[in-house]
Amino acid sequence: DGELVDWDDARIHVLTPTLHYGYGVFEGIRCYGTDRGPAVFQLLPHTDRLLRSARLYPPLDESPYTSQDLADAIVGLIRANGHEAGCYIRPTIILGYGEMGLNPLPSEPQVIIATWEWGTYLGEEALVNGVKVMFSSYRRIGKNTIPPAGKANGQYLNSSLAKVEALRAGYDEAIMLSEDGYVAEGTGENIFIVRDGVISTPPLSDGPLGGITRSSVIQIARDLGLEVVEEHLVRSDLYLCDEAFLTGTAAELTPIATVEGRKVGSGTRGPVTEKVQSTFMDAIRGKVDRYKDWLTYVNE
């Protein structure tokens, strides 16, 4: 809410509906070190989506801040924290305490932004060697249960249960199916497969979040002359595909090595994945002029 607060002094009310009922929305954003200093990847698309998420959960939409206000605050916070090599950014719109109960309307929205240095989400070696995934027994939340188009705090309990299930079973990540049995997404990532050189990803109607990294990767792939289609995917498509990978702000672009013990292709990063990943990694570091508008430079 416009005030810089020391990390150890950050406080919220213990009776906020956000704590008790998960009533809040958030974003995950990355800042990368570049030759021109730290730069935030797709900043305004992220702050735009944060406000769209808030519109799904009144009264979070009553926050007075614009998308540009939030973007400016993020840049200022990165400067204040001195993250020259990059950082992870978590803006959140929560509710202050109004009254206890399921009615959130008496509570007023508050905006919190935090930044910290954070490495590769699924491990540095996973960017080449890939990750082991399983299909979760937990289905992705239904379209008429909680709006999947928003990033709401409470809905990620669904993802956390799937993540814990995968980790306890010896896997790195879980793939969640939609209520109709189609492939939806990972616990915090969109999913792509490659068959005969064609890249496929589930449509948003199957429940995945409309990922900003997802749309960036689709654009990169098409700019590289690759065909990308959105289509229903089922479990066997992942067993039989030539390559597969996950995308997300945290995961960036991470190959899938195995699906429930079955090798995907050679069991490591495939050539199409590597081609798209290489361009993506260059783009987030400011090395591709074509995508320079995707970056907001903190010190300029």
State the average pLDDT over residues 263-280: 97
123 against 273, higher pLDDT: 273
Q: Where in the chain is the domain with CATH 3.30.470.10?
A: 7-116
In the prediction, which pLDDT does 300 show? 86
In the prediction, which pLDDT does 32 show? 97
Report the C-alpha gap between 74 and 89 in whole angstroms.
Answer: 8
Q: Are 197 and 272 in contact (CB under 8 A)?
A: yes
CA distances from 272 to 186, 242, 290 (A): 20, 10, 20
In the prediction, which pLDDT does 288 show? 98
Report the C-alpha gap between 280 and 300 in whole angstroms.
Answer: 23
In the prediction, which pLDDT does 1 show? 84
Q: Is the pLDDT of residue 123 over 90?
A: no
Task: Name the pLDDT band for 36 (thresholds 50, 70, 90).
Answer: very high
The pTM is what?
0.95
Report the C-alpha gap between 3 and 88 in whole angstroms.
Answer: 19
In the prediction, which pLDDT does 143 show? 86
Q: Please give the CATH number for the structural domain made up of 7-116.
A: 3.30.470.10
Q: In this structure, what are the phi and psi dihedrals at residue 93, rounded to the nearest 5 degrees? A: -105, 115
Give the whole-number percent of the chain exceeding pLDDT 70.
Answer: 100
| Both structure tokens of 27 | 């974003």
Gyration radius of the chain over CA positions: 19
Report the C-alpha gap between 263 and 188 in whole angstroms.
Answer: 22
Report the C-alpha gap between 64 and 97 in whole angstroms.
Answer: 18
What homologous superfamily does CATH list for 126-284?
D-amino Acid Aminotransferase, subunit A, domain 2 (3.20.10.10)
Q: Where in the chain is the domain with CATH 3.20.10.10?
A: 126-284
State the average pLDDT over residues 187-207: 98
State the average pLDDT over residues 157-179: 98
Give the whole-number percent of the chain exceeding pLDDT 90.
Answer: 93
Average pLDDT, the chain: 96
**What are the tens digits of pLDDT across the range 237-260?**
999 999 999 999 999 999 999 999
In the prediction, which pLDDT does 37 show? 97
Report the C-alpha gap between 24 and 110 in whole angstroms.
Answer: 10
Instruction: Provide the residue type at 286 as one letter.
Output: G
Task: Name the pLDDT band for 122 (thresholds 50, 70, 90).
Answer: confident
| Both structure tokens of 185 | 């997404």
Among 71-75, 107-111, 141-145, 289-293, the minimum mean pLDDT is found in: 141-145
Which SS3 state, helix, strand or coil, does residue 80 take?
A: helix
Catalytic positions are: 151
Which SS3 state, helix, strand or coil, does residue 57 take?
A: coil
